[in-house]
Protein backbone atom coordinates (compact mmCIF):
# COMPACT_ATOMS: atom_id res chain seq x y z
CA UNK A 1 0.00 0.00 0.00
CA UNK A 2 2.94 2.32 0.53
CA UNK A 3 3.11 3.00 -3.22
CA UNK A 4 -0.23 4.77 -2.72
CA UNK A 5 1.33 7.25 -0.29
CA UNK A 6 2.62 10.78 -0.92
CA UNK A 7 0.00 11.53 -3.54
CA UNK A 8 -1.84 14.73 -4.27
CA UNK A 9 -5.54 14.37 -4.94
CA UNK A 10 -7.55 17.27 -6.32
CA UNK A 11 -11.29 17.22 -5.76
CA UNK A 12 -13.54 18.57 -8.49
CA UNK A 13 -17.17 19.39 -7.91
CA UNK A 14 -18.19 18.88 -11.55
CA UNK A 15 -21.31 20.98 -11.36
CA UNK A 16 -19.24 24.04 -10.47
CA UNK A 17 -15.90 23.57 -12.17
CA UNK A 18 -16.13 24.62 -15.83
CA UNK A 19 -19.09 24.83 -18.16
CA UNK A 20 -18.36 24.50 -21.90
CA UNK A 21 -21.94 24.55 -23.18
CA UNK A 22 -23.51 27.56 -21.51
CA UNK A 23 -25.96 25.37 -19.62
CA UNK A 24 -24.93 26.82 -16.27
CA UNK A 25 -23.62 23.44 -15.11
CA UNK A 26 -19.99 22.47 -15.25
CA UNK A 27 -19.24 19.51 -17.50
CA UNK A 28 -16.69 16.84 -18.26
CA UNK A 29 -15.34 18.65 -21.30
CA UNK A 30 -14.68 21.58 -19.01
CA UNK A 31 -12.58 19.33 -16.81
CA UNK A 32 -10.64 18.09 -19.83
CA UNK A 33 -9.97 21.71 -20.77
CA UNK A 34 -8.35 22.30 -17.40
CA UNK A 35 -6.22 19.16 -17.13
CA UNK A 36 -3.01 21.02 -17.91
CA UNK A 37 -3.79 23.44 -15.08
CA UNK A 38 -4.08 20.52 -12.65
CA UNK A 39 -0.97 18.86 -14.01
CA UNK A 40 0.97 22.04 -13.45
CA UNK A 41 -0.15 22.17 -9.84
CA UNK A 42 1.31 18.70 -9.30
CA UNK A 43 -1.87 16.63 -9.05
CA UNK A 44 -1.68 12.81 -9.17
CA UNK A 45 -5.36 11.89 -8.82
CA UNK A 46 -8.48 13.81 -9.74
CA UNK A 47 -11.44 12.94 -7.54
CA UNK A 48 -14.73 13.83 -9.19
CA UNK A 49 -17.83 14.17 -7.07
CA UNK A 50 -20.58 12.01 -8.61
CA UNK A 51 -21.28 12.49 -12.32
CA UNK A 52 -23.70 9.61 -12.77
CA UNK A 53 -27.32 10.05 -13.75
CA UNK A 54 -29.17 11.76 -10.96
CA UNK A 55 -32.18 13.97 -10.34
CA UNK A 56 -29.73 16.14 -8.36
CA UNK A 57 -31.75 16.49 -5.18
CA UNK A 58 -28.45 16.10 -3.37
CA UNK A 59 -26.21 17.29 -6.19
CA UNK A 60 -25.47 13.87 -7.63
CA UNK A 61 -25.19 11.98 -4.33
CA UNK A 62 -28.60 10.62 -5.30
CA UNK A 63 -27.78 8.31 -8.19
CA UNK A 64 -30.49 6.93 -10.45
CA UNK A 65 -28.18 5.01 -12.80
CA UNK A 66 -24.70 3.98 -11.69
CA UNK A 67 -23.49 3.15 -15.18
CA UNK A 68 -24.67 6.23 -17.02
CA UNK A 69 -23.04 9.64 -16.93
CA UNK A 70 -25.63 12.35 -16.33
CA UNK A 71 -26.34 14.23 -19.53
CA UNK A 72 -25.83 17.54 -17.74
CA UNK A 73 -22.17 16.59 -17.47
CA UNK A 74 -21.74 14.85 -20.84
CA UNK A 75 -21.68 11.26 -22.02
CA UNK A 76 -19.99 8.02 -21.01
CA UNK A 77 -17.65 8.60 -23.95
CA UNK A 78 -16.68 11.99 -22.52
CA UNK A 79 -15.92 10.35 -19.19
CA UNK A 80 -13.75 7.73 -20.85
CA UNK A 81 -11.99 10.42 -22.83
CA UNK A 82 -11.33 12.25 -19.57
CA UNK A 83 -9.74 9.10 -18.16
CA UNK A 84 -7.52 8.80 -21.22
CA UNK A 85 -6.59 12.48 -21.35
CA UNK A 86 -5.70 12.46 -17.66
CA UNK A 87 -3.65 9.32 -18.15
CA UNK A 88 -1.71 10.95 -20.99
CA UNK A 89 -0.66 13.58 -18.49
CA UNK A 90 0.24 11.07 -15.81
CA UNK A 91 -2.90 11.62 -13.71
CA UNK A 92 -5.54 9.16 -12.55
CA UNK A 93 -9.28 9.47 -12.08
CA UNK A 94 -10.82 8.77 -8.68
CA UNK A 95 -14.55 8.14 -8.80
CA UNK A 96 -17.00 8.95 -6.03
CA UNK A 97 -18.95 5.82 -5.10
CA UNK A 98 -22.29 6.25 -3.41
CA UNK A 99 -22.99 2.76 -2.13
CA UNK A 100 -25.06 3.48 0.95
CA UNK A 101 -28.15 4.68 -0.90
CA UNK A 102 -29.59 5.31 -4.35
CA UNK A 103 -31.97 7.90 -5.67
CA UNK A 104 -35.65 7.09 -5.34
CA UNK A 105 -35.67 7.33 -9.15
CA UNK A 106 -33.29 4.36 -9.46
CA UNK A 107 -34.97 1.45 -11.22
CA UNK A 108 -34.30 -0.74 -8.15
CA UNK A 109 -36.36 1.54 -5.95
CA UNK A 110 -39.02 1.99 -8.59
CA UNK A 111 -39.40 -1.79 -8.71
CA UNK A 112 -39.29 -2.02 -4.93
CA UNK A 113 -42.24 0.36 -4.78
CA UNK A 114 -44.15 -2.09 -6.94
CA UNK A 115 -43.22 -4.80 -4.41
CA UNK A 116 -41.17 -6.62 -7.01
CA UNK A 117 -40.11 -9.94 -5.52
CA UNK A 118 -36.40 -9.27 -5.94
CA UNK A 119 -36.06 -5.52 -5.55
CA UNK A 120 -38.34 -4.93 -2.58
CA UNK A 121 -35.62 -6.38 -0.40
CA UNK A 122 -32.97 -4.07 -1.91
CA UNK A 123 -34.15 -1.42 0.55
CA UNK A 124 -35.03 -1.31 4.24
CA UNK A 125 -38.73 -1.36 5.14
CA UNK A 126 -40.53 -1.27 8.48
CA UNK A 127 -44.16 -1.11 9.56
CA UNK A 128 -43.40 1.60 12.08
CA UNK A 129 -40.59 4.19 12.25
CA UNK A 130 -38.24 4.24 15.25
CA UNK A 131 -36.23 7.16 16.65
CA UNK A 132 -33.51 7.13 14.00
CA UNK A 133 -32.96 10.60 12.60
CA UNK A 134 -31.76 11.73 9.20
CA UNK A 135 -28.38 13.46 8.81
CA UNK A 136 -30.35 16.22 7.12
CA UNK A 137 -32.75 16.62 10.05
CA UNK A 138 -36.07 15.00 10.98
CA UNK A 139 -37.00 11.32 10.99
CA UNK A 140 -34.94 8.86 8.97
CA UNK A 141 -38.11 7.08 7.83
CA UNK A 142 -40.48 8.01 5.04
CA UNK A 143 -43.87 6.45 4.52
CA UNK A 144 -44.62 5.04 1.09
CA UNK A 145 -48.31 5.03 0.21
CA UNK A 146 -47.63 2.49 -2.52
CA UNK A 147 -46.01 -0.03 -0.23
CA UNK A 148 -47.85 0.83 2.94
CA UNK A 149 -44.59 0.82 4.89
CA UNK A 150 -41.76 3.12 5.90
CA UNK A 151 -38.38 3.03 4.14
CA UNK A 152 -35.13 4.06 5.74
CA UNK A 153 -33.28 7.06 4.35
CA UNK A 154 -30.49 8.44 6.45
CA UNK A 155 -30.26 11.50 4.18
CA UNK A 156 -33.01 13.08 2.07
CA UNK A 157 -36.29 11.29 1.46
CA UNK A 158 -35.21 10.96 -2.18
CA UNK A 159 -32.19 8.86 -1.05
CA UNK A 160 -33.45 5.46 0.18
CA UNK A 161 -30.79 3.39 1.96
CA UNK A 162 -29.74 0.13 0.33
CA UNK A 163 -30.07 -3.12 2.24
CA UNK A 164 -26.47 -4.32 2.48
CA UNK A 165 -27.49 -7.49 4.28
CA UNK A 166 -28.91 -8.68 0.96
CA UNK A 167 -26.14 -10.44 -0.94
CA UNK A 168 -27.67 -9.61 -4.30
CA UNK A 169 -27.47 -5.91 -3.54
CA UNK A 170 -23.82 -6.26 -2.66
CA UNK A 171 -23.01 -8.24 -5.78
CA UNK A 172 -24.82 -5.78 -8.03
CA UNK A 173 -22.79 -2.96 -6.51
CA UNK A 174 -19.52 -4.88 -6.91
CA UNK A 175 -20.32 -5.51 -10.59
CA UNK A 176 -20.86 -1.81 -11.05
CA UNK A 177 -17.54 -0.94 -9.36
CA UNK A 178 -15.79 -3.41 -11.65
CA UNK A 179 -17.50 -1.87 -14.66
CA UNK A 180 -15.79 1.43 -13.88
CA UNK A 181 -12.47 -0.21 -13.08
CA UNK A 182 -12.59 -1.76 -16.55
CA UNK A 183 -13.18 1.70 -18.00
CA UNK A 184 -9.95 2.83 -16.41
CA UNK A 185 -10.93 4.43 -13.10
CA UNK A 186 -7.97 4.06 -10.71
CA UNK A 187 -9.25 5.30 -7.40
CA UNK A 188 -12.44 5.58 -5.40
CA UNK A 189 -13.79 7.90 -2.75
CA UNK A 190 -16.45 6.01 -0.85
CA UNK A 191 -19.32 8.19 0.26
CA UNK A 192 -20.51 7.68 3.88
CA UNK A 193 -19.13 4.16 3.65
CA UNK A 194 -19.20 3.54 7.40
CA UNK A 195 -23.00 3.49 7.27
CA UNK A 196 -23.28 0.29 5.21
CA UNK A 197 -23.15 -1.96 8.29
CA UNK A 198 -26.02 -0.18 10.04
CA UNK A 199 -28.51 -2.03 12.22
CA UNK A 200 -31.53 0.28 12.24
CA UNK A 201 -33.51 -1.69 14.82
CA UNK A 202 -30.68 -1.35 17.31
CA UNK A 203 -30.22 2.32 16.37
CA UNK A 204 -26.71 1.52 15.16
CA UNK A 205 -25.78 3.69 12.21
CA UNK A 206 -22.02 4.19 11.81
CA UNK A 207 -19.50 1.31 11.83
CA UNK A 208 -22.07 -1.35 12.55
CA UNK A 209 -21.03 -4.91 13.39
CA UNK A 210 -20.91 -6.03 9.75
CA UNK A 211 -19.12 -2.96 8.40
CA UNK A 212 -15.61 -4.41 8.38
CA UNK A 213 -16.81 -7.67 6.89
CA UNK A 214 -18.60 -5.90 4.04
CA UNK A 215 -15.61 -3.67 3.44
CA UNK A 216 -13.37 -6.70 3.12
CA UNK A 217 -15.75 -8.37 0.68
CA UNK A 218 -15.97 -5.17 -1.39
CA UNK A 219 -12.19 -4.93 -1.44
CA UNK A 220 -11.70 -8.56 -2.43
CA UNK A 221 -14.32 -8.48 -5.15
CA UNK A 222 -13.31 -5.15 -6.66
CA UNK A 223 -10.41 -2.75 -6.09
CA UNK A 224 -8.25 -4.89 -3.76
CA UNK A 225 -5.23 -3.03 -2.40
CA UNK A 226 -4.11 -1.88 -5.85
CA UNK A 227 -6.23 1.24 -6.27
CA UNK A 228 -6.24 4.31 -4.06
CA UNK A 229 -9.39 4.27 -1.97
CA UNK A 230 -10.57 6.73 0.64
CA UNK A 231 -13.64 6.32 2.79
CA UNK A 232 -15.73 9.09 4.26
CA UNK A 233 -15.87 8.10 7.94
CA UNK A 234 -16.60 11.11 10.12
CA UNK A 235 -14.92 11.12 13.52
CA UNK A 236 -13.26 7.73 13.22
CA UNK A 237 -10.61 7.05 15.84
CA UNK A 238 -7.08 5.82 15.22
CA UNK A 239 -8.11 2.27 16.23
CA UNK A 240 -11.03 2.33 13.81
CA UNK A 241 -8.76 3.66 11.09
CA UNK A 242 -6.44 0.68 11.47
CA UNK A 243 -9.42 -1.63 11.29
CA UNK A 244 -10.69 -0.17 8.03
CA UNK A 245 -7.47 0.99 6.37
CA UNK A 246 -5.36 -2.02 5.51
CA UNK A 247 -4.77 -4.25 2.46
CA UNK A 248 -8.21 -5.86 2.99
CA UNK A 249 -10.04 -2.57 3.33
CA UNK A 250 -9.31 0.96 2.20
CA UNK A 251 -6.11 2.88 1.64
CA UNK A 252 -7.28 5.64 3.95
CA UNK A 253 -10.22 7.42 5.50
CA UNK A 254 -11.33 10.98 6.08
CA UNK A 255 -11.81 11.44 9.82
CA UNK A 256 -12.42 15.23 9.82
CA UNK A 257 -11.26 15.67 13.40
CA UNK A 258 -9.67 19.00 12.48
CA UNK A 259 -12.91 20.34 11.08
CA UNK A 260 -14.89 19.02 14.06
CA UNK A 261 -12.86 21.24 16.37
CA UNK A 262 -15.05 24.06 15.13
CA UNK A 263 -18.24 22.29 16.30
CA UNK A 264 -19.70 22.72 19.77
CA UNK A 265 -20.84 19.37 21.23
CA UNK A 266 -20.62 17.72 17.85
CA UNK A 267 -23.14 20.13 16.34
CA UNK A 268 -21.76 21.64 13.16
CA UNK A 269 -24.34 24.45 13.17
CA UNK A 270 -22.99 25.64 16.49
CA UNK A 271 -19.52 27.05 15.91
CA UNK A 272 -16.60 27.32 18.31
CA UNK A 273 -13.71 29.73 17.80
CA UNK A 274 -10.38 28.21 16.90
CA UNK A 275 -8.56 26.50 19.75
CA UNK A 276 -4.91 26.10 18.85
CA UNK A 277 -4.23 23.87 21.84
CA UNK A 278 -6.79 21.36 20.60
CA UNK A 279 -5.54 21.73 17.03
CA UNK A 280 -1.99 20.91 18.13
CA UNK A 281 -3.21 17.89 20.05
CA UNK A 282 -5.04 16.66 17.00
CA UNK A 283 -1.98 17.16 14.77
CA UNK A 284 0.14 15.30 17.31
CA UNK A 285 -2.30 12.44 17.64
CA UNK A 286 -2.49 11.69 13.93
CA UNK A 287 0.96 12.73 12.78
CA UNK A 288 2.79 10.79 15.47
CA UNK A 289 0.19 8.29 16.58
CA UNK A 290 -1.07 6.87 13.30
CA UNK A 291 1.23 4.72 11.20
CA UNK A 292 -1.20 4.26 8.30
CA UNK A 293 -1.47 6.69 5.39
CA UNK A 294 -3.36 9.71 6.58
CA UNK A 295 -5.79 11.58 4.31
CA UNK A 296 -4.93 15.23 4.85
CA UNK A 297 -7.88 17.37 3.94
CA UNK A 298 -8.82 20.93 4.71
CA UNK A 299 -11.77 21.48 2.41
CA UNK A 300 -14.42 19.64 0.47
CA UNK A 301 -17.90 20.14 -0.95
CA UNK A 302 -19.55 19.61 2.46
CA UNK A 303 -17.46 22.04 4.46
CA UNK A 304 -17.26 25.79 4.70
CA UNK A 305 -13.87 27.01 3.48
CA UNK A 306 -11.23 26.56 6.18
CA UNK A 307 -9.68 29.92 5.35
CA UNK A 308 -13.02 31.59 6.19
CA UNK A 309 -13.63 29.46 9.28
CA UNK A 310 -10.26 29.80 10.95
CA UNK A 311 -8.27 32.59 9.41
CA UNK A 312 -8.60 35.97 7.80
CA UNK A 313 -10.12 35.73 4.34
CA UNK A 314 -10.16 39.50 3.77
CA UNK A 315 -7.14 41.65 4.53
CA UNK A 316 -4.78 38.70 5.02
CA UNK A 317 -6.36 36.29 2.58
CA UNK A 318 -3.23 35.38 0.66
CA UNK A 319 -1.16 35.02 3.82
CA UNK A 320 -3.87 32.89 5.42
CA UNK A 321 -4.19 30.53 2.44
CA UNK A 322 -0.44 30.05 2.38
CA UNK A 323 -0.23 29.55 6.13
CA UNK A 324 -2.75 26.71 5.99
CA UNK A 325 -1.13 24.87 3.11
CA UNK A 326 2.27 25.21 4.75
CA UNK A 327 1.09 23.57 7.93
CA UNK A 328 -1.17 20.91 6.42
CA UNK A 329 1.00 20.42 3.34
CA UNK A 330 4.00 19.43 5.44
CA UNK A 331 2.13 16.59 7.16
CA UNK A 332 2.69 13.03 6.01
CA UNK A 333 0.12 11.06 4.05
CA UNK A 334 -1.87 12.03 0.97
CA UNK A 335 -2.80 15.64 0.42
CA UNK A 336 -6.34 16.44 -0.76
CA UNK A 337 -7.00 19.82 -2.35
CA UNK A 338 -10.51 21.05 -3.04
CA UNK A 339 -11.16 23.15 -6.15
CA UNK A 340 -10.44 26.81 -5.63
CA UNK A 341 -8.43 26.25 -2.47
CA UNK A 342 -5.27 26.73 -4.52
CA UNK A 343 -6.25 30.34 -5.28
CA UNK A 344 -7.66 31.12 -1.84
CA UNK A 345 -11.38 31.07 -2.65
CA UNK A 346 -13.56 32.02 0.31
CA UNK A 347 -17.02 31.26 1.67
CA UNK A 348 -19.92 32.42 -0.50
CA UNK A 349 -21.37 34.90 2.00
CA UNK A 350 -24.85 34.86 0.40
CA UNK A 351 -27.17 36.78 2.69
CA UNK A 352 -30.64 35.65 1.60
CA UNK A 353 -31.93 32.10 1.69
CA UNK A 354 -33.11 32.18 -1.94
CA UNK A 355 -29.47 32.21 -3.08
CA UNK A 356 -28.82 28.81 -1.51
CA UNK A 357 -29.46 25.48 -3.24
CA UNK A 358 -28.49 22.82 -0.72
CA UNK A 359 -31.21 20.56 0.68
CA UNK A 360 -29.46 20.35 4.05
CA UNK A 361 -29.31 24.14 4.28
CA UNK A 362 -33.04 24.42 3.52
CA UNK A 363 -33.92 21.86 6.19
CA UNK A 364 -31.85 23.74 8.75
CA UNK A 365 -33.37 27.05 7.71
CA UNK A 366 -36.88 25.64 8.19
CA UNK A 367 -35.97 24.18 11.55
CA UNK A 368 -34.56 27.48 12.80
CA UNK A 369 -37.52 29.48 11.49
CA UNK A 370 -39.84 27.09 13.34
CA UNK A 371 -37.79 27.61 16.48
CA UNK A 372 -38.47 31.31 16.12
CA UNK A 373 -34.92 32.55 15.59
CA UNK A 374 -34.73 35.98 13.94
CA UNK A 375 -33.97 35.87 10.19
CA UNK A 376 -30.75 37.79 10.66
CA UNK A 377 -29.40 35.27 13.15
CA UNK A 378 -30.41 32.36 10.96
CA UNK A 379 -28.64 33.83 7.96
CA UNK A 380 -25.54 34.41 10.03
CA UNK A 381 -25.43 30.73 10.92
CA UNK A 382 -26.07 29.64 7.34
CA UNK A 383 -23.41 31.97 5.99
CA UNK A 384 -20.89 30.32 8.25
CA UNK A 385 -21.86 26.69 7.83
CA UNK A 386 -23.81 25.98 4.62
CA UNK A 387 -22.30 23.43 2.28
CA UNK A 388 -22.98 25.84 -0.57
CA UNK A 389 -20.03 27.90 0.68
CA UNK A 390 -17.75 25.49 -1.13
CA UNK A 391 -20.08 24.63 -3.99
CA UNK A 392 -20.21 27.95 -5.80
CA UNK A 393 -18.53 28.13 -9.22
CA UNK A 394 -14.79 28.04 -9.67
CA UNK A 395 -13.44 31.54 -10.23
CA UNK A 396 -11.34 31.40 -13.39
CA UNK A 397 -11.11 35.06 -14.40
CA UNK A 398 -12.80 38.43 -14.06
CA UNK A 399 -15.16 38.06 -17.03
CA UNK A 400 -18.91 37.48 -16.51
CA UNK A 401 -19.69 34.61 -14.13
CA UNK A 402 -16.02 34.37 -13.25
CA UNK A 403 -15.33 32.65 -16.58
CA UNK A 404 -17.17 29.58 -15.29
CA UNK A 405 -20.09 29.73 -17.72
CA UNK A 406 -21.49 31.87 -20.51
CA UNK A 407 -24.99 30.97 -19.29
CA UNK A 408 -26.70 31.50 -15.96
CA UNK A 409 -24.83 29.44 -13.36
CA UNK A 410 -26.95 26.96 -11.37
CA UNK A 411 -25.81 28.81 -8.25
CA UNK A 412 -24.48 32.37 -8.09
CA UNK A 413 -20.78 33.08 -8.31
CA UNK A 414 -19.10 34.79 -5.39
CA UNK A 415 -19.22 38.57 -5.63
CA UNK A 416 -15.50 38.66 -4.93
CA UNK A 417 -14.61 36.94 -8.22
CA UNK A 418 -13.11 40.04 -9.84
CA UNK A 419 -10.54 40.13 -7.04
CA UNK A 420 -10.12 36.39 -6.53
CA UNK A 421 -9.65 34.33 -9.66
CA UNK A 422 -7.15 32.01 -11.28
CA UNK A 423 -6.04 34.49 -13.90
CA UNK A 424 -5.30 37.23 -11.41
CA UNK A 425 -3.61 34.89 -8.97
CA UNK A 426 -1.40 33.42 -11.66
CA UNK A 427 -0.42 36.85 -12.94
CA UNK A 428 0.66 38.16 -9.58
CA UNK A 429 4.15 37.82 -8.21
CA UNK A 430 2.91 36.38 -4.90
CA UNK A 431 0.16 34.07 -6.12
CA UNK A 432 -1.29 31.31 -3.98
CA UNK A 433 -1.27 28.78 -6.84
CA UNK A 434 2.51 29.10 -7.21
CA UNK A 435 2.94 28.70 -3.48
CA UNK A 436 0.84 25.51 -3.50
CA UNK A 437 2.94 24.31 -6.41
CA UNK A 438 6.14 24.79 -4.47
CA UNK A 439 4.82 23.01 -1.36
CA UNK A 440 3.66 20.09 -3.52
CA UNK A 441 6.98 19.95 -5.36
CA UNK A 442 8.78 19.90 -2.00
CA UNK A 443 6.58 17.06 -0.71
CA UNK A 444 7.35 15.01 -3.78
CA UNK A 445 11.07 15.60 -3.64
CA UNK A 446 11.72 15.54 0.08
CA UNK A 447 9.11 13.21 1.49
CA UNK A 448 11.73 11.71 3.78
CA UNK A 449 11.87 15.03 5.70
CA UNK A 450 8.08 15.07 5.99
CA UNK A 451 7.84 11.54 7.33
CA UNK A 452 9.85 12.20 10.50
CA UNK A 453 8.09 12.59 13.84
CA UNK A 454 6.90 16.05 14.72
CA UNK A 455 6.37 18.14 17.81
CA UNK A 456 3.63 20.73 17.97
CA UNK A 457 3.51 23.66 20.36
CA UNK A 458 1.31 26.67 20.78
CA UNK A 459 1.21 29.79 22.89
CA UNK A 460 -2.42 30.38 22.04
CA UNK A 461 -1.93 32.46 18.88
CA UNK A 462 0.99 30.79 17.14
CA UNK A 463 1.69 27.15 16.23
CA UNK A 464 5.16 25.70 15.96
CA UNK A 465 5.64 22.42 14.14
CA UNK A 466 9.08 20.95 14.40
CA UNK A 467 10.36 18.00 12.41
CA UNK A 468 13.87 16.64 12.14
CA UNK A 469 14.87 18.85 9.23
CA UNK A 470 12.72 21.94 9.53
CA UNK A 471 10.68 24.09 11.87
CA UNK A 472 7.44 25.90 10.99
CA UNK A 473 6.18 29.03 12.78
CA UNK A 474 2.58 29.92 11.97
CA UNK A 475 0.82 32.97 13.34
CA UNK A 476 -2.95 32.47 13.56
CA UNK A 477 -3.57 36.01 14.78
CA UNK A 478 -3.17 39.63 13.75
CA UNK A 479 -0.66 40.22 16.54
CA UNK A 480 3.07 40.41 16.00
CA UNK A 481 5.14 37.75 17.75
CA UNK A 482 8.82 37.19 18.34
CA UNK A 483 10.56 34.09 17.02
CA UNK A 484 14.12 32.86 16.77
CA UNK A 485 15.43 33.14 13.20
CA UNK A 486 17.62 30.76 11.28
CA UNK A 487 19.52 31.28 8.09
CA UNK A 488 17.96 28.99 5.59
CA UNK A 489 14.31 29.72 4.83
CA UNK A 490 12.35 27.01 3.02
CA UNK A 491 8.98 28.77 2.78
CA UNK A 492 7.49 32.07 3.80
CA UNK A 493 4.34 33.98 2.95
CA UNK A 494 5.40 37.62 3.18
CA UNK A 495 7.31 39.38 0.43
CA UNK A 496 10.34 39.97 2.59
CA UNK A 497 11.52 38.39 5.81
CA UNK A 498 11.87 40.34 9.03
CA UNK A 499 14.39 38.91 11.48
CA UNK A 500 12.97 37.44 14.68
CA UNK A 501 9.48 38.64 13.85
CA UNK A 502 6.25 36.91 12.94
CA UNK A 503 3.73 39.37 11.50
CA UNK A 504 -0.08 38.81 11.31
CA UNK A 505 -0.84 35.47 9.69
CA UNK A 506 2.77 35.03 8.76
CA UNK A 507 4.22 31.57 8.30
CA UNK A 508 7.87 30.80 7.96
CA UNK A 509 9.72 27.51 7.61
CA UNK A 510 13.39 27.32 8.52
CA UNK A 511 15.67 24.46 7.69
CA UNK A 512 17.37 23.26 10.86
C1 LIG B 1 -21.69 12.55 1.87
C2 LIG B 1 -21.46 13.55 0.77
C3 LIG B 1 -22.54 14.57 0.86
C4 LIG B 1 -23.88 13.90 0.67
C5 LIG B 1 -24.04 12.74 1.64
C6 LIG B 1 -25.16 11.83 1.21
O7 LIG B 1 -21.56 13.10 3.12
O8 LIG B 1 -20.18 14.07 0.85
O9 LIG B 1 -22.36 15.62 -0.05
O10 LIG B 1 -24.91 14.80 0.86
O11 LIG B 1 -22.91 11.94 1.69
O12 LIG B 1 -24.80 11.12 0.06
CA distance 90 to 366: 47
Give the model's pLDDT for residue 331.
Answer: 98
**Residue with CA at minimum distance from ligand 1 atom 2:** 191
Active-site residue set: 191, 232
Contact 73, 25 (CB under 8 A): yes
CA distance 30 to 17: 7
**Residue with CA at minimum distance from ligand 1 atom 12:** 61
Average pLDDT of adjacent 10-residue blocks, the chain of 512 residues: 95 98 98 98 98 97 98 98 98 98 98 97 98 96 98 98 98 98 98 98 96 98 98 96 98 97 94 96 98 98 97 98 98 98 98 96 96 97 97 98 98 98 98 98 98 97 98 97 94 95 98 95
Give the model's pLDDT for residue 348.
Answer: 97
Nearest residue to 260 via CA among 251, 245, 271: 271
CA distance 435 to 342: 9
Neighbouring C-alpha atoms within 13 Å toward the C-beta of 241 = 23
Nearest residue to 311 via CA among 328, 324, 300: 324
Give the model's pLDDT for residue 369.
Answer: 97
Could you give the C-alpha distances from 472 to 298, 319, 475, 501, in angstroms and in order? 18, 14, 10, 13
Could you give the C-alpha distances from 455 to 31, 93, 197, 230, 281, in angstroms and in order? 39, 35, 37, 27, 10
DSSP 252-303: EEE--HHHHTTEETTEEEEEPPP-HHHHHHHHHHHHHH--S--EEES--TTS
Residues having CB within 6 Å of any atom of ligand 1: 58, 61, 98, 155, 191-192, 232, 301-302
Backbone φ, ψ for residue 332 (5° rounding): -85, 160
Give the model's pLDDT for residue 504.
Answer: 98
Q: Please give the number of the atom of ligand 1 that sits closest to the Cα of 360.
A: 10
Residue 458 Cα to ligand 1 middle (Å): 34
Q: Please give the number of the atom of ligand 1 that sits closest to the Cα of 154.
A: 6
Amino acid sequence: MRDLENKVIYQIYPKSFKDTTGSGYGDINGIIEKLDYLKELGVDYIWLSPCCKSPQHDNGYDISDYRQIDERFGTNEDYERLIQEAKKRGMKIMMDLVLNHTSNEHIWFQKALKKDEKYYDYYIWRDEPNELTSMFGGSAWTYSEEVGKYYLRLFDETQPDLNWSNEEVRNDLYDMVNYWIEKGVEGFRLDVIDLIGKEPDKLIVGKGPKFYEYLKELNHKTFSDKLLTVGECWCSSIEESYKMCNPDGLTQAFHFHYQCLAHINGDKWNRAPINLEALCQCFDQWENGYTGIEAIVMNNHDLPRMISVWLNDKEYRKESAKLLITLFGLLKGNLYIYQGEEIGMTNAYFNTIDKYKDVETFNKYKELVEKGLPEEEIMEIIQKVSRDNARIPMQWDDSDNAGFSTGKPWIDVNENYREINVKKDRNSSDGIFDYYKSIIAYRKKHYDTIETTATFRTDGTMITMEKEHFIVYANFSDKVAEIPSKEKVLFHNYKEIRENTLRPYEVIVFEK
